[in-house]
């Protein structure tokens, strides 16, 4: 094999353009590994990068995709063994380094996480950055004192990748979960993942005073904007809000009242540059006691590289749900 297929993103004199290309197979330099990628997954950030609607790439052209899983084909690092099943999420993928929408990925060995038993490349990518981010939110909330007795966890953008996994994960760990979703047709699916109640995007309780009646023990917010502002007004004393996303807007207009009169914490969640020990620990938990029990139900569709542009458009319109897998090379399953 001298070449491989990858979904490459350009920004040049012709403007933004992206598509499947035949690329020369790289040889790993010292400290790098070459991974034969079998599965990737589609995240919101991939849709922004692939369509050019968000400034995600710092250099062009690059192969897109912030997630990859497969087997080590060649290793130029003593830390990673050839043949091992591995995953990579975040770091420089599809930012300043080629990403996971390709049959091969050559990257620094210290970005690589061995796939723990309990997962395989396909299931690791059903989780992907979305699952890792949900686990990071859970971790930060638990460290900061979140417990089921504080009240239900509100999950916004609940039908999306991060949201669906968060619903399943928090429910699995004994929290009551309230899912907020714009997709009324997915109410039963969200209940099947563990949501005790499902609210429409405009059905959040409370008015717009700085402090409204406290109804949520904490929250996982994928939406930002007015949704996040309303959450700050309605979280109970000592509750935590994990701020993950901006699907509804990047601004936040609220007051300090929830923070100084209820001790509410707004926790920033940043999945890209998580130090390797915590990264490994969270993946080990995602493969064992934090493994979402409905992991297969969270997988909604599978595409090849040529199906990516259509999925990106759907995702940015809020029309996808759960996790969309990308099948590479000869992956089966």
Q: Which residues bind ligand NDP (CB under 6 A)?
A: 43-45, 129-130, 133, 157-163, 181-183, 201, 222-223, 244-248, 269-272, 315, 318, 320-321
Q: How far is the CB of 247 from ligand NDP (least distance, A)?
A: 4
Is the Cβ of residue 85 or residue 246 nearer to ligand NDP in the bound state?
A: 246
Which residue's Cβ lies closest to ligand NDP?
Answer: 160
How big is the chain, counted in residues? 333
Is the Cβ of residue 72 or residue 126 nearer to ligand NDP in the bound state?
A: 126
Q: How far is the CB of 271 from ligand NDP (least distance, A)?
A: 3
Is the Cβ of residue 29 or residue 205 nearer to ligand NDP in the bound state?
A: 205
Q: How far is the CB of 132 from ligand NDP (least distance, A)?
A: 8
Q: How far is the CB of 237 from ligand NDP (least distance, A)?
A: 26
Q: How far is the CB of 118 from ligand NDP (least distance, A)?
A: 22
Q: How far is the CB of 2 from ligand NDP (least distance, A)?
A: 34
Task: Say which residue the tokens 């699995």 belong to.
Answer: 172
Is the Cβ of residue 35 or residue 162 nearer to ligand NDP in the bound state?
A: 162
């Amino acid at each position: 094999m001298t070449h491989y297929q990858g979904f490459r993103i350009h920004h040049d004199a012709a403007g933004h353009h992206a598509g499947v290309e035949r690329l020369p197979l790289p040889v790993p330099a010292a400290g790098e590994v070459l991974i034969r990628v079998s599965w990737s997954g589609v995240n919101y950030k991939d849709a922004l990068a692939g369509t050019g609607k968000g400034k995600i790439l710092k250099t062009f052209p690059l192969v897109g995709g912030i997630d990859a899983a497969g087997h080590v084909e060649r290793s130029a690092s003593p830390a990673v063994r050839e043949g091992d099943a591995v995953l990579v999420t975040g770091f420089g993928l599809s930012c300043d380094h080629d990403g996971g929408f390709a049959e091969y990925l050559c990257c620094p060995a210290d970005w690589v996480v061995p796939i723990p038993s309990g997962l395989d490349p396909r299931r690791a990518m059903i989780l992907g950055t979305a699952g890792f981010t949900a686990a990071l939110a859970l971790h930060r909330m638990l460290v900061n004192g979140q417990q089921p007795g504080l009240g239900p966890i509100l999950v916004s953008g609940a039908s999306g990748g991060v949201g669906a996994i968060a619903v399943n994960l928090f429910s699995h760990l004994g929290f009551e979960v309230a899912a907020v979703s714009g997709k009324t047709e997915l109410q039963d699916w969200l209940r099947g993942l563990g949501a005790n109640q499902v609210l429409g995007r405009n059905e959040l309780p409370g008015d717009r005073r700085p402090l409204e009646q406290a109804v949520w023990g904490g929250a996982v917010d994928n939406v930002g904007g007015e949704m996040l502002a309303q959450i700050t007004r309605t979280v109970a004393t000592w509750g935590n809000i994990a701020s993950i996303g901006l699907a509804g807007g990047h601004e936040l207009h609220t007051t300090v009242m929830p923070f100084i009169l209820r001790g509410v914490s707004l926790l920033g969640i940043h999945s890209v540059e998580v130090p390797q020990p915590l990264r490994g620990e969270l993946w080990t938990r995602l493969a064992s006691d934090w493994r979402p029990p409905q992991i297969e139900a969270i997988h909604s569709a599978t595409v090849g590289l040529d199906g990516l542009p259509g999925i990106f458009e759907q995702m940015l319109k809020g029309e996808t749900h759960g996790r969309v897998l990308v099948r590479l090379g000869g992956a089966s399953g």
